[in-house]
């Protein structure tokens, strides 16, 4: 083989350049994110890509989740899975493909999903006779088309039919971790993608009450997860009829508020009544020997949570990750003049790394010599590592380290004595601080509004708006059309004034209570 | 609502009956598996379904993995994932759908998978104009068809192209846990299904040697997992050209021997050379500033491992699970005359359960009163729970328990004093015993054969056959056609005689060494 060219890589400040045939071009800008104040949407996209979380794939609307992004998702999965198991749920796996006729059994359900279905029609490729390549074999057409699951109620309830005869078979408390596909036309990394990863719980119960309790219980599990692990404060509530899951009698939701004043639905839980049991004829004999249809719930969170996590905490320097979900909680960077000094720092740091690990802290010691400290600092800031420790020559002499916390960028120098416990406490402090900061922001951006003019004015500025609504889908539709705002939920928790009847801000008709509006992702 | 009928459930021995309108029919046979000696294949299917591992779904060739089966798979996943991470790998996620043109880029690859591709051609459903239901919207035809991944080399290497510029970007050591689809015409639960779950590692390297080392290293990881956790002895080796992965230069394999004398390929690892790098033009600048194509490996194990696990150890009473993978390692069943006695047993057992859990043992105390002890015994035997403890009235008085080990069905009665440590050791003993038993069986069924007549005779009886082969695909094809036997591998480990040149048993041509034949799943 003959070499036909080569290039070299050069680094200066935070940029890497490629030199190829004497031409120098920039290969990678390591930081310099778009600022949030300039273009929030661009800032988000930049950040997702530059922090190595995800990228667009060659398949329209489908993303590649890169190792660093996937490591965060894995932590979320592990914690959620433990929470599901602690509440009595087990995992199972149901088919990816759903016969078209199954999807159609529940009328509202198919109405809700028909427009975004990826359809499998053939099961074989073959070589084109004209030698032009591989084509779909027309002889291998399926008798009935199969849909890539947009959600699995139909395939699961067709299965539950065989599992349920008597009340003794109930409840069934299954969860599935899976990929699903909804053919979205306008996609954004993590927030709205054609394929996404999620978990979907599907439970079957003997009574209406038990199913309703389950749906609410799982919403609270989601709320706890969002607040305790993601440090994302959420408002829990019930959706209006317009915003319900297709086929549900009630949809419960947790709603977060992003830094641009838009709401993000973080997770939903559905009380499905007997709709799917009726669609698939799933009956059971109850304790009194009476035959009845089974009661159902379903509930899910997805890789969309990554979007909520990123947008709630991050800043113009990059990601800010809550310590409970950060793949690397602590990074240690040495600054050294020569190999001898590095050896001394290595020896010193080794013990600290070991003690940090003993405390259950995930730590990375980055003494690679192919990148300069400044580059490393910028990169770990971009990646949201909660705590950075630095040891230089002076530190070595003084038995100290410089500690920087990512959330406030504050630095201090401390003795190495007991630094491990200090870092452990600092991580908890950061977790609490970013939650409190997000909570303060959220609470400062909830507005009570009584006229439609005020509403229109406020909605342009962003935030949650508590306003009166007459309870009709027509008024809701009108508000959405005119202001792009939707009812996020009827919050479970509300002050007395919000629960006092009033009049609809648009129609002047009676309103039972204030409901929560916002523009949303 | 009016009650139009009801039924009652009756249990007698190991059968449950339904009484409906005075007619009594059997609802569920709780045991009474087909015997292995009668019909091994039927025994396997019965067992998978009756032990609640998996069942056929309404979608042709796709299975539902039931919670008990999935719990075993989850244990496998967790252990394998830890092993991958311990060898430096990280997880990521790549799209489910692959553009048809991508699949075609590597000629052998598409040739290998074209015949079993599920093809997505449309992205929307709509209501039929004649009101007959929901149809595929002909206006929503994709410009280019998308294939549900049968494996992800093509989509991943098209992505790696953007990740790799220099040797500094290498190696990339990614793994993905995912579902894949291969449209098989004859399917069997776990062993061969259209959709299955697996992990696929895809690594990129700067040198041929490094890639070859990686492929072999991961095969050894698989081998260790099979032997230490699944208790399935495997023969490691390299595949003949005919049996290679489509697009690989070398395929390494671990091969198990099932109780019916047929081989089961449990996992494979591929050295892909530069084939995919060339197909997707993935080049890098090496340390000497030379441009070269990247070297690749891929490796995978799937839910097929469940089939190997089941067939290696189980018997006519049901599953026999290795303690390292059993979702329930110990079950405790009380036998009591009245509620008072049950309370006393509950109190006694509570402490034992707590101590077992402290030792990291997964234990279930089944004091449910809706099933009789005999039913419970049969059910936990069927489900392969490694150790059963029973406490009855006499035991309560004597401070003893009856211990049964599932692998040998041996029972003994022991004092409760120190029973937890005893059980912990017993679990290790069972793990070793079933491995040793499987190893003895496997070793007793490896035959050296020197003539084709002997070969044909032996292959009917089953087992691994070590025979000489002239190294040509033609001879291999002929043997396969005439005897249904294939070359499972050229084992890495072989005695001196097997590595001594000889003559092909069919053609009489020279043979470098004995290779391993068997009929296979």
Residues B415-427: tens digit of each pLDDT? 999 999 999 999 9
Q: How many angstroms separate the CA atoms of A194 and A60, rounded? A: 8
Mean per-residue pLDDT for A399-403? 98
In B, minimum Cα distance to A284 occurs at B6
Of the candidates A92, A125, A148, the beta carbon closest to that of B66 is on A92
Task: Identify whether residues A394 and A471 lie together within a single domain.
Answer: no
Check whether A17 has a pLDDT greater than 80: no
Is position B45 within any domain? no
Which burial class, exposed, middle or buried, applies to B476 when counting CB atoms under 10 A from its CB (0-12, 13-18, 19+)? buried
A179 has a chain B CB within 8 A of its CB: yes
Could you tell me what percent of chain B has a pLDDT over 70?
Answer: 94
- Residues B204 and B297: their CA atoms lie apart, in Å, by 7
Cβ within 8 Å of residue B116, ≥6 positions away: A123, A124, B150, B182, B183, B184
Q: How far is CA B39 from CA B276, B378, B445, in A?
A: 44, 21, 20
- Residue A385's CATH number: 3.40.50.800
Look-up of token digits 């993000």? A264
The CA distance from B139 to the nearest CA of chain A, in Å, is: 12
Of B70, B134, B168, the CB nearest to A91: B70
On whether the CB atoms of residues B110 and B161 are closer than 8 A, the answer is no
Q: Is the pLDDT of residue B475 over 50?
A: yes
Residue contact B290–A91, C-beta within 8 A = no
Residue with tokens 């009855």: B392
* Predicted-complex ipTM score: 0.93
The predicted model gives A382-404 an average pLDDT of 97
Query: Nearest Cβ partner of A6 from B18, B65, B289?
Result: B289
> Among residues B271, B370, B315, which one has the least CA distance to residue B44?
B315
Determine the Cα–Cα distance for residues B167 and B184; give it in Å rounded to an integer.
40
For residue range A204-232, list pLDDT tens digits in order. Answer: 999 999 999 999 999 999 999 999 999 99
Q: In terms of domains, do B10 and B137 share one?
A: no
How are the residues of chain B apportioned to helix, strand and coil, as percentages rounded to the nearest 5? 35, 30, 35
Q: Is A128 on the interface with B (CB under 8 A)?
A: no
Quick check: is A433 in a domain?
no
Q: How far is B514 from chain A (nearest CA, A)?
A: 37
B80 and B93, same structural domain?
yes
Q: What is the DSSP-derived secondary structure letter of residue B165?
A: S
Same domain, B430 and B341: yes
Residue of B59, B65, B279, B282 for testing the chain A interface, max A β-carbons within 10 Å: B59
Contact criterion met (CB < 8 Å) for A126 and B114: yes
Domain boundary among A244, A278, A313: A313
Cα B276 from Cα B108, distance rounded (Å): 11
Percent of chain A scoring above 90 in pLDDT? 90
The residues in A 136-175 lying below 8 A from B, measured between CB atoms, are 136, 145-148, 155, 158-159, 162, 165-166, 168, 174
The values of phi and psi at residue A493, to 5°, are -100, 130
Is residue B258 domain-shared with residue B287, that is, in the same domain?
Answer: yes
Are residues A82 and A30 both part of a single domain?
Answer: no
Which contacts qualify for B11-18: CB closer than 8 Å, 24 or more apart?
B11/B371, B11/B372, B11/B375, B13/B374, B14/B374, B14/B375, B14/B378, B18/A165
Average pLDDT over residues A430-454: 98
pLDDT at A165: 96
**Domain for residue A494, yes or no?**
yes
Number of A:B CB contacts under 8 A? 226
Which of B280, B313, B346 delimits the end of a domain? Answer: B313
| First CA to last CA distance, chain A | 52
- Alpha carbons A477 and A471: distance in angstroms, whole number: 11
For residue A281, CA distances in Å to A92, A274, B56, B111 come to 22, 10, 19, 44
Q: Where does A124-207 have alpha helices with state H?
A: 153-163
Average pLDDT over residues B80-86: 98
Specify the pLDDT at position B133: 85
Query: Inter-chain contact A6–B285, Cβ cutoff 8 Å?
Result: yes
**Cβ of B108 under 8 Å from any chain A Cβ?**
no
Contacting residues of B for A55, CB less than 8 Å apart = 159, 162
Q: Smallest Cα–Cα separation from A47: which of A298, A238, A319?
A: A319
Average pLDDT, chain A: 94
What is the model's pLDDT at position B185?
85
Closest CA to B364 of B395, B392, B332: B332
Tens digit of each residue's pLDDT (9 = 90 or more) over A287-341: 999 999 999 999 999 999 999 999 999 999 999 999 999 999 999 999 999 999 9
Say whether the peptide bond before residue B171 is cis (omega within 30 degrees of 0): yes
Q: Are residues A422 and A341 in the same domain?
A: yes
> Over the stretch B396-409, which tens digit does the pLDDT of each residue have?
999 999 999 999 99
Question: A119: which chain B residues are within 8 Å (Cβ-Cβ)?
Answer: 120-125, 136
Q: In the 3-class helix/strand/coil scheme, how is B377-424 assigned residue by residue? A: HHHHHHCCCCEEEEECHHHHHHCEEEEEECCCCCEEEEECCCHHHHHH
Alpha carbon distances (Å) from B508 to B448, B486, B496, B502? 16, 18, 21, 9
| pLDDT at B7 (0 to 100) | 54
Cross-chain residue pair A97–B62, CB shorter than 8 Å: yes
More confident call, B11 vs B64: B64
B319 occurs within a structural domain: no
What number of CA atoms fall less than 13 Å from residue B45's CA on the CB side? Answer: 8
Whether A4 is in a domain gets the answer no
| A394, A426, A458 - which closes a domain | A426
The angle that helices B208-228 and B67-86 make with each other, rounded to 10 degrees, is 140
Residues on chain A touching B61 (C-beta within 8 angstroms): none
Neighbouring C-beta atoms of residue B366, cutoff 10 Å: 16
Please tell me the distance in Å from B174's CA to the nearest CA on chain A.
8
Contact predicate B92/A64, CB 8 Å: yes
Residues A411 and A465 in one domain: no
The DSSP code sequence of A207-260 is SHHHHHHHHHHHHHHHHHHHHHTS----EEEE--GGGS-TT-SEEEEEEEE-TT
Q: Give pLDDT tens digits for A60-112.
A: 899 999 999 999 999 999 999 999 999 999 999 999 999 999 998 988 888 99
Find out whether B333 and B366 touch, Cβ atoms under 8 Å: yes
How far away is chain A from the Cα of B57, in angstroms, using its nearest Cα?
A: 7
Phi-psi region of A263 (alpha: psi -120 to 50; beta: other; left: phi over 0): beta
- Assess whether B256 and B391 both reside in one domain: no
Residue A25 pLDDT more than 80? Answer: no
Cα angle A276, A277, A280 (rounded to 5 degrees) comes to 80
- Distance from the Cα of B49 to chain A's closest Cα (Å) equals 12
Q: Is A95 close to B59, i.e. CB distance below 8 A?
A: yes
Residue B258, domain extent = 67-313
Let me know: does A172 contact A164? Beta carbons within 8 Å.
Answer: yes
Q: Is A23 inside any structural domain?
A: yes
Give the pLDDT confidence score for residue A22 in this predicted structure. Answer: 47
- Rounded to the nearest angstrom, the minimum Cα separation between B67 and chain A is 5
Question: If you average pLDDT over residues B239-256, what whole number do you get?
Answer: 96
- Closest by alpha carbon to B370, among B16, B57, B96, B90? B16
In a domain, B430, yes or no: yes
Question: A148–B71: do the CB atoms touch at under 8 Å?
Answer: no
pLDDT tens-digit readout, A167-206: 999 999 999 999 999 998 889 999 999 999 999 999 999 9
Question: How does pLDDT run across A406-421, given as a tens digit for each residue?
Answer: 999 999 999 999 999 9
Q: Is A115 on the interface with B (CB under 8 A)?
A: yes
Residue A171: cis peptide before it, omega within 30 degrees of 0 = yes
Q: Are residues B283 and B381 in the same domain?
A: no
Q: Are B12 and B88 found together in one domain?
A: no
User: Do residues B165 and B285 touch, judged by C-beta distance below 8 A?
Assistant: yes
The tens digit of pLDDT for each residue in B99-151 reads 999 998 988 888 999 999 999 999 999 998 888 889 999 999 999 999 999 99
Q: Residues B334, B345: contact at Cβ < 8 Å?
A: yes
Residues of B in contact with A181 (CB under 8 A): 96-97
Domain count, chain A: 4
A-chain CB neighbours of B147 within 8 Å are 125
Q: What is the CATH number of the domain that holds A120?
A: 3.30.930.10
Q: What is the mean pLDDT of residues B212-233?
A: 98
Contact of B285 with chain A, judged by CB distance below 8 Å, is answered with yes
CA dist A218 → A84, A85, A222 (Å): 8, 12, 6
B455 and B365 in one domain?
no
Query: What gap in Å lies between CA B451 and CA A497, rounded to an integer?
Result: 94
Residue B491 domain-assigned (yes or no): yes
- Rounded mean pLDDT of chain B? 94
Q: How many residues would you count in chain A?
A: 521
pLDDT in tens, B159-173: 999 999 999 999 999
């Amino acid at each position: 083989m003959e070499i036909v060219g080569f290039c070299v890589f050069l680094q200066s400040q935070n940029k890497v350049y490629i030199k190829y045939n004497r031409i120098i071009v920039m290969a990678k800008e390591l930081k310099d994110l778009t600022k949030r104040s300039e273009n929030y949407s661009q800032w988000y996209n930049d950040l997702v890509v530059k922090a190595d979380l995800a990228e667009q794939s060659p398949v329209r609307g489908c993303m590649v989740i890169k190792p660093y992004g996937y490591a965060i998702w894995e932590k979320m999965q592990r914690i959620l899975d433990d929470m599901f198991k602690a509440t009595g749920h087990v995992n199972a796996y149901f088919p990816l493909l759903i016969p078209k006729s199954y999807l159609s059994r529940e009328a509202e359900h198919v109405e809700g999903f028909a427009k975004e279905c990826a359809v499998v029609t053939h099961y074989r490729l073959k070589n084109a006779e004209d030698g032009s390549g591989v084509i779909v074999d027309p002889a291998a057409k399926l008798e009935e088309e199969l849909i890539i699951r947009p959600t699995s109620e139909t395939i699961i309830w067709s299965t539950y039919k065989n599992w349920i005869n008597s009340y003794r078979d109930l409840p069934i408390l299954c969860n599935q971790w899976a990929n699903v596909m909804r053919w979205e036309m306008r996609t954004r990394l993590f927030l709205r993608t054609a394929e996404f990863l999620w978990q979907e719980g599907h439970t079957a119960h003997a009574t209406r009450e038990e199913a309703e309790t389950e749906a609410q219980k799982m919403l609270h599990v989601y709320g706890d997860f969002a607040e305790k692990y993601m440090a994302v404060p959420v408002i829990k509530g019930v959706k209006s009829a317009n915003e319900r899951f297709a086929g549900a009698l009630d949809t419960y939701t947790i709603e977060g508020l992003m830094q641009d004043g838009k709401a993000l639905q973080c997770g939903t839980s559905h009380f499905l009544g007997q709709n799917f049991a009726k669609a698939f004829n799933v009956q059971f004999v109850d304790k009194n020997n009476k035959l009845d249809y089974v009661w159902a719930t379903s509930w899910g969170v997805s890789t969309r949570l990554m979007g909520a996590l990123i947008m709630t905490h991050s800043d113009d320097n990059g990601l800010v990750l809550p310590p409970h979900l950060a793949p690397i909680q602590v990074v240690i960077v040495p600054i050294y003049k020569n190999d001898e000094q590095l050896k001394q720092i290595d020896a010193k740091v080794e013990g600290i790394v070991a003690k940090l690990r003993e405390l259950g802290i995930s730590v990375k010691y980055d003494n690679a010599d192919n990148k300069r400290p400044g580059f490393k600092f910028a990169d770990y800031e971009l990646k949201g590592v909660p705590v950075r420790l630095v040891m230089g020559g002076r530190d070595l002499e003084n038995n100290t380290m410089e500690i920087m916390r990512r959330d406030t960028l504050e630095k201090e120098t401390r003795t190495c004595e007991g630094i491990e416990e200090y870092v452990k406490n600092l991580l908890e402090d950061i977790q609490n601080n970013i939650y409190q900061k997000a909570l303060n922001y959220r609470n400062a951006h909830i507005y009570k509004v009584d006229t439609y003019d005020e509403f229109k004015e406020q909605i342009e500025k962003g935030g949650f708006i508590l306003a009166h609504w007459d309870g009709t889908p027509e008024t809701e539709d009108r508000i959405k059309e005119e202001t792009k705002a939707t009812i996020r939920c009827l919050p479970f928790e509300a002050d007395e004034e919000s629960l006092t009847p009033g009049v609809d801000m648009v129609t002047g008709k009676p309103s039972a209570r204030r409901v929560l509006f916002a523009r949303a992702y």
